[in-house]
Amino acid sequence: MLKEKLKLKGKKLILGSQSPRRKELLASLNLDFDVFAKEVDETYPNGLSNKEIAEYLANLKSIVFKPLSNEIIITADTIVCVDNEILGKPSTKTEASQMLKKLSARAHEVITGVSIKSMNNEYTFSDTTSVHFGKLTYDEIDYYIDTYKPYDKAGSYGIQEWIGQIGITKIEGSYFNVMGLPVHRVYAELLKIC
């Protein structure tokens, strides 16, 4: 029975992330888990592809955890890429505005790397979604930044927020991946552990 499979055979699931969106998405799988995040320096080596960067950062976040025999750790990192430039989290309104202007009237990629780690195994993968924005006016960009303050979001936006509702014309791939966790892939990998 599926409900029995999702009990993870007595394993304790830990989400190693401060993201409220990842917590919400993992909870939507009806799994019991604890949240315990540790700060890491998110510096990555030069020469990596965008996919490799997302996977490297997800793995980097898992390194700080030493799981016990009954624990499974999930860590993740989401990056937004346009013209092979990675748009991180903005620290000012000006940075946020510049990022959204770059995304306006074009497509970009959102890549989430995920690491699933137990005492004996570790598996890291990524999922990519193509997101298409229509033309955003300066007034729309200013309103969104002032109202939603997207300073904790890569690329300066949340797909589930107002800017996604009025601006995104098409996505190719997982919507939930853009929110920060490709739950379909996480679910499949956890079933393999069960």
User: Digits of tens for pLDDT over the chain (194 positions)?
Assistant: 455 555 666 788 999 998 999 999 999 988 889 999 888 888 899 999 999 999 999 999 999 888 888 899 999 999 999 998 999 999 999 999 999 999 999 999 999 999 999 888 889 999 999 999 999 999 999 999 999 999 999 999 999 999 999 999 999 999 999 999 999 999 998 888 76
User: What is the residue whose two structure tokens read 């002032």?
Assistant: 146
Q: State yes or no: is 77 an active-site residue.
A: yes
Of 177, 103, 175, which Cα lies nearest the Cα of 144? 103
* Model pTM score: 0.93
pLDDT at 120: 85
124, 113 contact by CB (below 8 A): yes
168, 133 contact by CB (below 8 A): yes
pLDDT at 47: 94
Beta strands 12-15 and 34-35 are parallel
Cα torsion angle, 59, 157, 105, 183, sign: positive
End-to-end CA distance of the chain: 12
Count of all residues that appear for the chain in the document: 194
C-alpha 93/C-alpha 75 separation (Å) is 28
Q: Which of 34, 77, 83, 146 is catalytic?
A: 77
pLDDT at 1: 45
Name the 3-class secondary structure at 62.
Answer: helix
Q: What is the CATH number of domain 2-193?
A: 3.90.950.10
